[in-house]
Structure 1
Amino acid sequence: MSYFDNIRTFVRVYELGSMSAAARDQRVSPAVASARITQLEGHLGVRLFQRTTRSLSATEQGRIFYDGACKILASVAEAEAGIDDVTDNPRGTLHVAAPLGVGRRLIAPHVPEFAADYPLVDVRLRLSDRKLDLTAEGLDVAFFLGRPEDSTLRIRKVADCERVLCASPAYLAVHGHPRTGGEIDRGQHNCLNLRFPGATEFQWQLQGPEGAIKYDVRGRFESDDGDVLTDWALAGAGIAMKPLFEIADHLRSGALVRVVEDTPPLPVQMACLYTHRRHQDPKTRLFMEFMIARMEDALKAGEA
């Protein structure tokens, strides 16, 4: 086994806190991951992890070695990036994350085209509406809607995305057509909420006559999948707050109708996060530039 592979596996075990999770991340079997750690411990002559059948934790030596191992991996990544920059021939695996709606509609359709232009780059696209930790989850770039909490990462803005509140004609026929946030704040409507473990935003922020107003909204249904909220709204279950690009076709067809037009939602920032490195990986830079150009075109076309 390569000593470098052993170090890479050690770092992922340390960051994920699980041998099986690290094995999945490295696309090897748990037995191979365990063997790499054992071989590394044998080479160093110390135990890096305390392992039981139920838990795994780093030893003091493991914590010390982790800092050095990260520097080794970063140095190799920078060296490879320098070569790729000179040869203009990026290679390797690119780990990308995005919210479900953004990934399905704005990124995934263009991945085959990117792969055709850069045949030596493999793309691993992970879609989730929950917040992701780039470092802990081994991501190169993460697209997101909103504002990031981690100030140590670099941010590249894509656009300010218009958001709308919408419901089906069938729902409005029964419950009425609200025009302002005050009408939904009284509990007269079933609001469909996007919530997930660790979510910090439980209010809808709407634009009032004198600025932004936060409304506490109530609803019987919530999900951590934005497309589920769209399906519920189409089925007449309630009112959903959605980025315009996700539901533009439904608005055009009349399957969904804008509501609360007098106090619309504030726009949401779409951007991408990537780690701070002295030499940015060329494949990461190329992927961002490639996707951002197509995302901007798609947003303009969808909101026209």
Structure 2
Amino acid sequence: MSYFDNLRTFVRIYELGSMSAAARDQRISPAVTSARISQLESHLGVRLFQRTTRSLTPTEQGRIFYDGACAVLEAVEAAEAGVGDATENPRGTLHIAAPLGVGRRLIAPHVPEFAREFPLVDVRLRMTDRKIDLTAEGLDIAFFLGRPEDSNLRIRKIADCERVLCAAPAYIAEHGHPKTGAEIDRGKHNCLNLRFPGATEFQWELSTPDGPRKFDVQGRFECDDSDVLTDWALQGAGIALRPVFEIAQHLESGALVTVVEDTPPLPVQMACLYTHRRHQDPKARLFMEFMIERMEGAVKG
């Protein structure tokens, strides 16, 4: 086992707070994970973690060593990126995250093209509609819709995405065609909601004659997969708030129609998050530029 592998494993255990989580993250066995930490501790002559049957916490020496280990790994990555024609022929693995709809429609279809152009780069794409922690989850780039909460990360805006409230003709025939936010407020219609860990009440921000206003919406169905909301809407189960690029084909076919047109949803920002050091990494920078060029056209077109 190389010393750098041991350092990488230590950093991921420290960030994730679990040996088993770090093992899954690095695609190695728990036994290898434990062995790497034991080797590091033997080499340093200190304990890096306090272990019990229920918890694992860094020691004071472990906290000090973490900062140094991160600096070493970042220096190695920078040195590797600067060797030869790294910008022309980048190498290594990229860990990317994206919302399900964005990942499925705007990123995943172009990954093989990127791989053909840059054959030495491996892409690990994780798609989820839940909120993610870029640093804790070991990600290089995270695409997202909405407003990021972590101001310590860099943001590259891609586009403003138009959104609509939509429903199937069958739902409208049975429940009526609401024109304003007041007609869907506080349980007056069955609203299909995106639920993820940490979500509380549901509010849809709509554009009214008096400016943006948040409406409390309720519904019988919730899901953490945005595509499921579209499927439910297609089946006449309720009203969904969806980006236009994700449901354009259904709007064109008439399978879904817009509602609440007099107070439409505000656009949502599509952007990507990355750390300062990742922007210096040629493979990360090239991946962002490659995908953004294609995503801008798809969202605006």
Q: TM-score, normalised by structure 1?
A: 0.96
Counterpart-to-counterpart distance in 2, 1:189 and 1:166: 12
SS in 2 for 1:277: helix
Are 1:114 and 2:114 counterparts? yes
Greater CA deviation, 26-35 or 52-61?
52-61
SS in 2 for 1:294: helix
* Contact 1:162/1:266 (<8 A) preserved: yes
Aligned to 2:11: 11
Aligned to 2:218: 218
- Two-structure CA RMSD over aligned residues (Å): 1.4
Aligned to 1:264: 264
Counterpart-to-counterpart distance in 1, 2:205 and 2:10: 43
Residues 187-266 of structure 1 correspond to what in structure 2 (within 5 A)? 187-199=187-199, 202-266=202-266
Residues 49-198 of structure 1 correspond to what in structure 2 (within 5 A)? 49-83=49-83, 88-198=88-198
**Overall identity of the aligned pairs, in %:** 81
Counterpart-to-counterpart distance in 1, 2:99 and 2:279: 27
Greater CA deviation, 147-156 or 201-210?
201-210
Gaps of 5+ in 2: none
Greater CA deviation, 110-119 or 78-87?
78-87
CA separation of 1:132 and 1:230: change in aligned 2, threshold 3 A: same
How far the C-alpha of 1:186 sits from its partner, in A, is 4.8
Amino acid at match of 2:4: F
How far the C-alpha of 1:211 sits from its partner, in A, is 1.0
Greater CA deviation, 26-35 or 91-100?
26-35
Amino acid at match of 2:273: L
How far the C-alpha of 1:243 sits from its partner, in A, is 0.4
* Contact 2:233/2:256 (<8 A) preserved: yes
Task: Write the deviation string for residues 91-117 of structure 1: whole angstroms up to 9, x where unpaired.
Answer: 000000000000000000000000000
* Contact 2:142/2:272 (<8 A) preserved: yes
Task: Write the deviation string for residues 132-184 of structure 1: whole angstroms up to 9, x where unpaired.
Answer: 11110000000000011111111101000000000001111100000000100
Are 1:277 and 2:280 counterparts? no
Counterpart-to-counterpart distance in 2, 1:23 and 1:144: 26
How far the C-alpha of 1:300 sits from its partner, in A, is 2.8
Task: Write the deviation string for residues 263-299 of structure 1: whole angstroms up to 9, x where unpaired.
Answer: 0000000000011128610000100000011111212
SS in 1 for 2:102: helix
* Contact 1:121/1:283 (<8 A) preserved: yes
Amino acid at match of 2:159: A
Instruction: List 4+ stretches of structure 1 deviating above 4 A.
Output: 84-87
* Contact 2:178/2:259 (<8 A) preserved: yes
Task: Write the deviation string for residues 209-239 of structure 1: whole angstroms up to 9, x where unpaired.
Answer: 1210110111111111101111111111100
Counterpart-to-counterpart distance in 2, 1:225 and 1:42: 45
Q: Aligned residue pairs: how many? A: 301
Task: Write the deviation string for residues 67-103 of structure 1: whole angstroms up to 9, x where unpaired.
Answer: 1111111111221222266562100000000000000
Q: TM-score, normalised by structure 2?
A: 0.97
How far the C-alpha of 1:251 sits from its partner, in A, is 0.6
How far the C-alpha of 1:200 sits from its partner, in A, is 6.1
